[in-house]
Amino acid sequence: MTAWEENVRKAVPYVPGEQPRFDGMIKLNTNENPYPPAPGVQKALREMEAGQLKLYPDPGAGMLVDALAEYYQLGRDQIFVGVGSDDVLAMSFLTFFNSAKPVVFPDITYSFYEVWASLFRIPFRTPALDEEFHIRKEDYYGENGGIVIANPNAPTSVCEGIEVIEDIIRHNPGCVVIVDEAYIDFGGVSARSLLETYDNLLVVQTFSKSRSLAGLRIGFAMGSSKLIAALNNVKYSFNSYTMNLPSIILGTEAVKDREYFIETTRRVIRTREEAKRALRALGFTFPDSRTNFIFARHESIPAAQLFAALRKQNIFVRYFDKPRIDQYLRITVGTDEQMKKLTDYLKAYISAQTEGREYENLSD
């Protein structure tokens, strides 16, 4: 090792789901929305002028902040925007978790939390979820340097009741509690209703799932004006122009179309519930998902085997080779047509396995 290598910050990076790009694939591995963005987004994209791009964007993303503040009935000083919720969360770790006390998050959750904690040299503790993948709220009492809870959780799809979230916040007045709500629009109750009561609560959401804008990378946080001011101070010390102009313009249009947003999430929920019934009939079990994915295990066939078989058919789901969850597949809810192709193939494959014969071709 050379002298300069000794001073390189070491990190084990987060590994995202693969991003295949070819015709005919069924992509159910990264929890994107199967439907296009709101019509207003598409119209604004067509009308956007290239000449606008020669200028720096508004560093405060004021247009988008105003739209979010109006939508969620908050002050504009209670909104922070970033380049995807990953950027917002990373900035929050950097801003608020700055003590010798450990930050606390579950042992099975969004794996980027551990990456950020390690990168920023933040001590952390990961209490185990119970056998049904629920939080034991008592594990989050006592001295700590901060708390992060994904609700609904990923990859488990489990959603804690708002009373559990409030109990944890109430027991931790001396630290910042972050509730990561990437999937909240698909069935949970948002913790933003608690913002008036707790000035140490930060609620983080994203446009990547329910608003069909994963490709634009837009995330935001809602919190007290003190928390948001602290985030902005760190942001402007790091990079003033984090959000590009197209994201500001198109994100604003997405927020404006409330009816399209509601209808799209309802369509995903309807498809999810039908997919649950179909998978249950095939011998799968899973937590009661309140997300746009299903975290499923089969009664007799290993998850790794099913993952490989599906992949051969260009059906992509997510598999985590980790303790306690290595028999589960995380299946994004796609269109009705995509989910039918998935379950039709699984039905034929599982039947063949039960009878001891080979089956691979989806078109057989």
Counting other chains too, the contacts that 339-342 makes at CB distance below 8 Å and 24 or more residues apart are: 339/271, 339/274, 339/275, 339/278, 341/26, 341/315, 342/26, 342/28, 342/275, 342/310, 342/315
Question: Is the confidence at residue 50, as pLDDT, over 60?
Answer: yes
Query: Using the 8-state DSSP alphabet, how is residue 193 labeled?
Result: G
Q: β-strand 219-223 against 284-285: which pairing, if any? A: unpaired
Q: What is the pLDDT of residues 20-32, one digit of tens each?
A: 888 889 999 999 9
What pLDDT is stored for residue 363 in this prediction? 53
**If you search the block for the tokens 């604004």, which residue do you land on?**
44
Give CA–CA dist 90/87, Å, rounded: 5
Question: Is the confidence at residue 364, as pLDDT, over 50?
Answer: no
Mean pLDDT over each residue of the chain, to the nearest integer: 95
Q: What is the pLDDT of residues 87-126, one digit of tens each?
A: 999 999 999 999 999 999 999 999 999 999 999 999 999 9
The segment(s) of the chain belonging to CATH 3.90.1150.10 are 4-34+259-355
Measured from the Cβ of residue 165, the count of other Cβ atoms closer than 10 Å reads 25
228, 77 in Cβ contact below 8 A? yes
User: pTM of the entire structure?
Assistant: 0.95
Domain covering 39-257 assigned CATH 3.40.50.970 in the classification = no
**CATH class of the domain comprising 4-34+259-355:** alpha beta
Residue 306's pLDDT band (cuts 50, 70, 90): very high
Measured from the Cβ of residue 282, the count of other Cβ atoms closer than 10 Å reads 16
The segment(s) of the chain belonging to CATH 3.40.640.10 are 39-257
175, 147 in Cβ contact below 8 A? yes
Residue 282's pLDDT band (cuts 50, 70, 90): very high
